Structure 1
């Protein structure tokens, strides 16, 4: 039975012990005053690394582990955070090496694997459903928009930055790109678009018949359908899971209608959407399971 530690660093840091594809014991959260959004956005890079290491050490509780997996937002390669638009202070950080060194100082020696946060969610969905042999794709809707897939494959897979509109005025994506999905669906982007309303108020306004809000909510869904259609045309049809704090505002029937309008070739039809509960636990398990697989491949 593998014994790994999984870490999810998105809106906050959550860490737990993973055995047999399950979370064992309670998770640990940093900062302790858990926030749903942006707890790490203003935190210095060094403090983020130290916070992750401290929670890993606490979860290990003096016992050895086979591997440590860390789900982190951005473009990840070889343990390096090459770019992270929503945690810009982490760009270029050699997070894998930093954590390995910090943990060694605490007496914990185990291989550390860094993966994209949405990939960790996808692995967690596969593990908790007994579908580790299946192809899983997931959209993670929060401060930004993540796209995860399991099993891991070569490539960047930053589908949250898919171009879904050619309107040159669509410049709300934090990476600076024009027409991106995240520039429409991400929390930060919605706050910039509606300076007088919080995102939750936009969806409430749409339900109450506000024309401006209702039109945007349709645009919001159409954007996700467009990005999904791009994924279908590249990787084939199938089920797409939707997770994250803003998954609760998804109207699946709207997505189905828009996707059917965009995907017309018969071999590529038949995709579906499933909203999954947002939880740190799923991502922690996914990070731990991914670390176990990566460690086994290195042997």
Structure 2
């Protein structure tokens, strides 16, 4: 049975916990990490559908909204990669303080995959719990912000501190993308953002500064854990680069670049995550 929960000293982080009938140290915990600007349910309700699937087999699970996302307090313009990692650590520590799981599966999409990997590295050290990252479309080939945005926009955000994302990625044709700069669109899409929902929200200078310094490949390459990485089979650049990630088993989704591009790809992804967890549980 699932229950809504608030986390943090001020109850500013909203989440959902799904617990098995009898919780013990023999249970593993699944935690999901959505991409930039996404609520805990993720695009096309990926993580909510995953939770419903795994709840049928009694899986202990945690979903939550980062600060400035979904139902949690705050605005996206106050969010940074650092705050997303800090929120994640705080929430997970709260959930496991009374019941230590034998393993934590960290399932992240896009920028959420990078957050998941960062959190996995920190949790294994602080909690001494086996962590298994399951990374969906991490942006391994993320360009530099300075190469994507115009100098004038960067100077404007430096002056003002934050800007409406409509100014960063102008466009109104969300279906054919006829008036979007495709390089900008691809950049923010690779982080997990959906332009229709990102527009109207601000992105801060601090977030762009952290994105400028972000190297997802190096973070994942430096993983202390063995894990799993999943790409759409049309994402050839990422698939090729991931071949250098020797600690990760690789999987691909048929006929797409991203899971949300076809319902069958999302179904395939949910099946795959369930299979990975089931198989890994047998090996623990």
Smaller-chain TM-score bracket: 0.3 to 0.5
Query: Larger relative contact order (C-alpha < 8 A, sep ≥ 6)?
Result: 1
Q: TM-score, normalised by structure 2?
A: 0.36
